[in-house]
Structure 1
Amino acid sequence: MPKITIDIPADVYQALHRFALQDRLTGEEAALLVLRDWLISNGYLNAEMALDDVTPTEGES
Structure 2
Amino acid sequence: MEDLRGQGFDGGSNMGGKFIRVQARILEINLKALFVHCFAHRLNQVVEKTMESSVGRNLLMTLN
Q: TM-score, normalised by structure 2?
A: 0.31
Q: Say which structure is richer in strand.
A: 2
Q: TM-score, normalised by structure 1?
A: 0.32
Q: Which has the higher contact order (CA 8 A, sep 6+)?
A: 2
Query: Whose Rg is larger?
Result: 2
